[in-house]
Amino acid sequence: MPATIICIGMAGSGKTTFVQRLNSHLHQKKTPPYVINLDPAVLKVPFGCNIDIRDSINYKKVMEDYNLGPNGAIVTSLNLFSTKIDQVLSIVKKRSDSFKHCVVDTPGQIECFVWSASGSIITESFATEFPTVIAYIIDTPRSANPSTFMSNMLYACSILYKTKLPMIVVFNKTDVRDAQFAKDWMTDFEAFQDSLRSNAELNDETSNGSGYMASLINSMSLMLEEFYSTLDVVSCSAYTGEGFDDFLKAVDDKVDEYNDFYQKERDRIVQEKKDKEKKDKDAQLTHLMKDLGLKDKKKAASGAADKDEVDVLSDLEDEIERDEKAGYEHGLIDLEDSEREYTFQEDRTGEVRDEEDASEVAKSIQQRYQQAFESTAKTASSSVAEDIAKYINGA
């Protein structure tokens, strides 16, 4: 099976140039790779792509249609592309006999790919079908600062535990600065401490060797010491082509590591996921059958189910026929022959009055209303007259 190399790196780390140099290096060795571009916002690609996301998705149109910014449009483009990842994999499978390496270039906005749902779908899809290796590209001259170096290492750590795939840390741009200092920092804790202290003596705005930041970097360097032991570190130059043989050798080693460890772990995780889904599905089906008053066929065959329960309406009819033949009553009512019985009495004169009684009751009620009205009116008029007399006499 061909090895899939997913190149991930910060913007400006030389990731696309690295892919171009790797492509030309493999062509020089007469083993041309299968190249996939997943950056929808790039204007020009310095290498030939077998599959290009720009052929199926228009990045600027996505920004206009969905009213998005640059990063949102990249994420949306990757989401749209990930819906067709099965077709991409089928194309790669058909041509897998003609190449040994499949190189995937990702967007420079690293968070848009690594921490998005589409990035996880694409990565896991390739890792399920092919041995997959993550190549994390680092800008070597920028990593000369201890704090920047530590930030890159934390990114590498998070990507490793997010993807759960073999990783190669590639220190690029070694034609500008040699990456030996970074390798020493990863293998010798005291060397990193010395560099941190010397950086503190500069007393400029880039210094992070004292105070809270120094304590934090020291703690992280101790924490990442075990993490460094699981990484393969390669230094190369995408400009001159130096170190790419070492990178290909590291890829072969990581493919063996993938087949020995990661493939088994991924198979175990996939199997556990399938078992969990099956268990949840069976539980939902059991609850549904219980709510509908149905029973499990397997349990019924083994005699574990209740004999009074029925599966479907046809089973109910069969039981009725058996009971009638045996002389038992099944308790159902024949609606045609049945007569409805009423419980109230036929003589309901106490509830309903005739017309004469109704008229007399109405007259008596009217008389009582009239008497009450007259007495109230007389009382009110007399009280008003008394008040007026008192007011005149008092005046």
Q: Are 107 and 113 in contact (CB under 8 A)?
A: yes
The helix (H) or strand (E) run that includes residue 168 is: strand 167-172
Judge whether 30 lies within some domain.
yes
In a domain, 20, yes or no: yes
Kindly report, residue by residue over 77-118, the tens digit of the pLDDT. Answer: 999 999 999 999 999 999 999 999 999 999 988 888 988 999
Q: How many domains does the chain have?
A: 1
The amino acid at residue 277 is E
Backbone angles phi, psi at 42, to 5 degrees: -70, 140
**What integer pLDDT is reported at residue 187 of this predicted model?**
85
Count CA within 13 A, CB hemisphere, residue 314.
0
346 occurs within a structural domain? no
Could you tell me which residues are beta bridge partners of residue 178? Answer: none
User: Whose structure tokens read 């590209």?
Assistant: 137
For residue 141, being part of any structural domain is answered with: yes
Q: Is 310 inside a domain boundary?
A: no
Count of CA atoms in the C-beta half-sphere (13 A) of 55:
9
Which domain covers residue 38, as residue numbers? 3-205+220-259
Residue 268 lies in a domain: no
Q: Tell me how many helices (H) and strands (E) the chain has.
A: 16, 7
Instruction: Output the CA angle 162-235-113, nearest 5 degrees.
Output: 30
- Count of alpha carbons within 13 angstroms of residue 65, beta-carbon side: 9
Q: For residue 351, what pLDDT is reported?
A: 47
8 in any annotated domain: yes
Question: Residue 116 falls within a domain, yes or no?
Answer: yes
Find, among 165, 134, 170, the residue nearest to 152 by Cα.
170
CATH for 134: 3.40.50.300
How confident is the model at residue 201, as a pLDDT? 60
CB contact set of 128 (below 8 Å; sequence gap of 6+) = 266, 270
**Which residues of the chain are modeled with pLDDT < 70?**
200-211, 294-363, 369, 373, 375-395
pTM over 0.85, yes/no: no
